[in-house]
Amino acid sequence: FPSILRRGRLTLSISTNGASPTLTAQILEEFKARFDLSYEAYVDFLYECRQHIKRSNLTTQEKQDFLKHVLDPSYRDKNKQIKMIKKLESLN
């Protein structure tokens, strides 16, 4: 059985298909440390950005550029997220 880590909209599944449940557990612990509870809010931010971008009149390339841009680790910062959402709201 796979081990599952959920952080809001983010779901990660880990399995060794029975080869090593201990390794699965070890990887799960590594994922828990890497994808801490703050990822729930971060993924929600990415979702909100995507919704604004999809509704915008930007070109396909501009949309792709924005979606890649907000993956920058600096957008884990709540203040930076708020500024970006305001910027995206002004596009509509």
For residue 92, pLDDT over 80 is answered with no
Please give the helix or strand (H or E) that residue 29 lies within, else none.
helix 21-34
Show the domain range for 71: 39-89
Do residues 88 and 53 touch, judged by C-beta distance below 8 A? yes
**Same-domain pairing of 49 and 18:** no
Do residues 80 and 74 touch, judged by C-beta distance below 8 A? yes
pLDDT in tens, 22-76: 999 999 999 999 999 999 999 999 999 999 999 999 999 999 999 999 999 999 9
Q: How far apart are CA 76 and CA 43, in angstroms?
A: 9
SS3 76: helix
Q: What is the tally of structural domains in the chain?
A: 2
pTM for this structure? 0.89
**Same-domain pairing of 46 and 79:** yes
